[in-house]
Amino acid sequence: PVPAADERIERVLEHLRLHYPDREVTRLSVLASIAQVTPTHLSRLMRKRTGEGVVAHARKLRITRAVELLNRGDTIAGAAHSVGYRHQADFSRDFQRVMGITPGRFLRHGRPN
């Protein structure tokens, strides 16, 4: 069953949806202040609401958008930069963590026809 909506978490989720590429405004401390709870409590609430932690949720948002960009023909470096990664190696690591495949392999084999 899906936990009851918590307005604090919904504000945080909306903030993440709008600002996921900007790592400064998606820091745990900033998000906790939006929810008006401690970072530890926010992590607990997020895990209860979404089944994943704050960092994992933000990562998934970034990579989901990157997949869309790659499917539209963007380069790996371009997609990485667009979703807030400064270093392509960090992007590749997170991409593989979320998608189970490297971005290069995704481009070669995972892109829909």
Q: Worst-scoring range by mean pLDDT, 4-8, 9-13, 29-33, 64-68?
A: 4-8
Q: Is the dihedral of CA 47, 92, 27, 82 positive or negative?
A: negative
What are the counts of helices (DSSP H) followed by strands (DSSP E) for the chain? 7, 0
With 0-12 / 13-18 / 19 or more C-beta atoms within 10 angstroms meaning exposed / middle / buried, residue 82 is middle
Side-chain-side CA neighbours of 58 within 13 Å: the count stands at: 23
pTM for the full predicted model: 0.85
Model pLDDT for residues 15-33, shown as the tens digit of each residue: 999 999 998 888 999 999 9
